[in-house]
A and B are shown apart, each in its own frame.
Chain A
Amino acid sequence: MRAVLLLALKSAWARRLTLGITLVSIALASALLLTVERVRHDARENFSQTISGVDLVVGPRTGGVQLVLYAVFHSGAATHNMQWDSFDALSHHPAIAWAVPIALGDSHHGFPVLGTTPNYFEHFQYADQQTLQMSAGRVFGEVFETVLGNTVASELGYHVGDRITLAHGLTETGPSHADKPFTVMGILAPTGTPVDRTVHVSMEAITALHLDWTGGAPMPGFSIPAEHVKKFNLIPKEVTAMLIGLKSRSDVFRLQRHINHYRGEPLMAVMPGVALDELWQTLASVENSLLIISVLVVLVGLAGLVATLLAALNERRRELAILRSLGASLGEIFLMLTTEGLMITVLGVTLGYVLFAVGMEILAPMVQTQFGIHLHWRILTVNEIILLLSIIVTGFLVSLIPGWRAWRMSLADGLTPRI
């Protein structure tokens, strides 16, 4: 038996080029399948971990998914703002335990700037009801003070006490708020959510920045120096959205209806979980088609394996016939061929895993900056192990085909020279 396996190895080594290419195709296919599965899983987990303990997200009327995407994930832009008066009135509603405003629109080196109140740091929760923690410094108090998300601070190399300026709008090319620099007061501990990529300032700061602005540009020939802004009324006129926590979570429908029917202005309230589920339902078909495509790629790889082995079988007639005539049984020939297929599958999957691991290591920071999705480094999840095992099992099953063909080939067939 060992002699047969050794022969099988040597024979395979003699055909290393074709087998090597097949192996690489299986490796690429399994790496693709693993990547799709990992990104799909982590993206979903990331999204559901981003917000917790918030019962309603309130904003001007738009799509529920859109509202949650820009208010919580800071992706996309608001089409309209809600009035500060509405925020004020709603936040005093008896059913509400806490409410924080959110003002978006400015940026700092591509990181979104979020105007809010110090309450935000107390009430905003992520993952499984974890609150935000400061890794250094404290929450902002004065107008021109800021609290940075962890990624902002680490990527731009900021420390508590540094001074930064914000840009108007979402790109660096836009006009800047250079006349009113901010002092970094605190840096948040990492959360793995969009909070890491956010620059937090007070609502008053957002108003102060735009005091001497009109129509999206600084008023020509007129500017208010930073030290004089306090002379103006810094109560904001508008907010982008608000987050609400309820005293009793079963009141959520009633308050939702109250807000949707709010008489002051057209508003909408969405439960973040519901909006995210809607998003998943829309994305489910894309996700599934990606998964189906990668499964098909794996099947193509395995079909290539069978084709290679079958093609080699013709070349190996002599070899197999000589083995038979030297006393190898039919079973041993069968085993030799099947083992070869299984071996290539296992090696291919292993190489695929290595490719996947290296690829994840390289891709993870890019995906984090581009899409805000944090890809976790894990060895393998249960799902991924199941996927890999099913590739190996399928590889074994299809390897039975060349084994069976070799079995069927008669001894005489291989020894009779044909002209």
Chain B
Amino acid sequence: MMKKWFLALLVSFPLAAAEPWPEVKWEVLVPKHWNPAKKFKHLDFSKLQDSDPRAMELLDEIKQEWDNAPIEHSLNGKKMRIAGFTLPLERKGDKVTEFILVPYFGACIHTPPPPANQIIHAKSKIPLSGIQIMMPIWVFGTLSVQRGDTTWGVAGYGLSVDKVVPYKEKKQ
């Protein structure tokens, strides 16, 4: 009798209860069926000549396609933890209240910048101490999908931060 009850309990509380902030990888933020090269399938690069101005134009177009990268709407409201590099936006004293999270080091200084679906705009109600520029970090919080401006800006990800933990390399 006791055993059955215990089993029922186990089933009704799946693993999610044990992990309130499941880990999310950056790839998940890119919609599965999105293919930036789709538009350019008909193009044959071998037919372009060296230093063809069209090649440059094409590159610009592909870049633009990346800039307008769509986001995964199903992630709205999902609790998660994600690792990335920080770029502080707003400070309160030496603490940070708003920052941008990007998947790779130096994303803010070097071009090309990451596409819109690889940038998370994180806000924290409690000012966070010890956040520096391009610092690897685990962010725990709830993801939200921000409606973008219709003409230029595409939608982006926002994150309301519950807590942050410095990122440490996993031991092999």
Contacts and interface: CB of A to CB of B under 8 A. Distances in A.
A52 B90 contact: yes
Contact of A251 (B89, B93, B94, B156): B156
Contacts of B149: 94-95, 247-248
A41 to B, nearest CB: 8
Interface in B71-121: 87-94, 97-98, 100, 107-109, 111-114, 116, 119-121
17 contacts: A45-B93, A55-B89, A93-B152, A94-B152, A95-B149, A128-B90, A247-B153, A248-B121, A249-B98, A249-B121, A250-B100, A250-B116, A250-B121, A254-B116, A256-B113, A273-B89, A274-B109
A248 B156 contact: yes
B92 A249 contact: no
Interface of A: 44-45, 48-49, 52-53, 55, 93-95, 127-129, 247-254, 256-257, 260, 271, 273-274, 277
Contact of A45 (B67, B94, B116, B151): B94
A39 B160 CA distance: 34
B146 interface: yes
Contacts of A274: 87, 108-109, 133
A248 B113 contact: no
B92 A253 contact: no
Contacts of A128: 90-92, 97
B153 A253 contact: no
A259 to B, nearest CB: 12
A249 to B, nearest CB: 5
A271 B108 contact: yes
Contact of A273 (B88, B93, B157): B88
A45 B93 CA distance: 6
The binding surface of chain A is classed by DSSP as helix
B133 A257 contact: no
Contacts of A94: 149, 151-153
A52 B89 CA distance: 8
A254 B113 contact: yes
Nearest to A55: B89
B153 A95 contact: yes
B132 interface: yes
A253 B90 contact: no
B148 interface: yes
Given A95-B149, A247-B153, A248-B146, A129 B107 contact: no
Contacts of A44: 94
A257 B91 contact: no
